[in-house]
Amino acid sequence: MKTLLLSANYFPIRVISWERAIKMRFEETADVVAEYADEISSPSVTWRVPAVIRERRVAKVKQVIRFSRSNVYLRDGFRCQYCGQKLDAKGLTYDHVVPRCQGGKTEWTNIVAACHACNSKKGGLEADEAGMFPLRAPVRPKWLPPRRALIDRRSAPVEWLAFLPA
């Protein structure tokens, strides 16, 4: 059984185990918003299993955004920076604007999101050699849009539906 974790502003963040949800409730870092019919018991207390919990505090924004594949996709709006096609994470890879074989580094200012076709077409060439230029220059982002919890409403428990976007 899983529990939907919401931000303090009721925004779906992720799915966690019911055990972690119970721990967060016990530590008073989260409030239970909806419960399943199932109960868990200890010698001193009986609680219903949390279906949805909400963090009590607004998460602090990190000052430094770490480099990762998913953060590159977020920065680039899940859009290939060569052809402009919008794709999901499975349809994207990242491309070194200056290829590694030519001394390019794996860092914010040299990586862009690219579809598999454009990445193959560009290959180990620099942008000007391939005639392929990124739509936007790669930069270190100062902020990223919030990640949405990707939860399929069709398979989500009924207790979650009121908290998921339509």
pLDDT of residue 155: 87
Enclosing domain of residue 108: 69-130
Is 158 within a domain?
Answer: yes
The CA–CA distances, whole Å, from 103 to 60, 82, 128, 137 equal 37, 21, 16, 18
Query: What's the total number of domains in the chain?
Result: 2
Burial of 47 (0-12, 13-18, 19+ CB in 10 A): middle
Quote the percentage of the chain above a pLDDT of 70: 95
Is 96 within a domain?
Answer: yes
116 DSSP assignment: H
CATH of the domain at 107: 1.10.30.50
pLDDT in tens, 86-119: 999 999 999 999 999 999 999 999 999 999 999 9
Q: Which position has the higher pLDDT, 153 or 85?
A: 85
Is there a single domain that holds both residue 122 and residue 158? no
Gap between the Cα atoms of 164 and 91, Å rounded: 25
Is there a single domain that holds both residue 98 and residue 118? yes
Average pLDDT for the chain: 91
Is 135 within a domain?
Answer: no
> 157 pairs with which residues across the strands?
none
Gap between the Cα atoms of 31 and 21, Å rounded: 9
Quote the percentage of the chain above a pLDDT of 90: 70
Q: Which position has the higher pLDDT, 22 or 148?
A: 22
Q: Is the pLDDT score of 30 beyond 90? A: yes
pLDDT of residue 58: 80
pLDDT of residue 147: 65
pLDDT of residue 64: 79
Is there a single domain that holds both residue 73 and residue 125? yes
Do 115 and 91 contact (CB within 8 A), yes or no?
A: yes
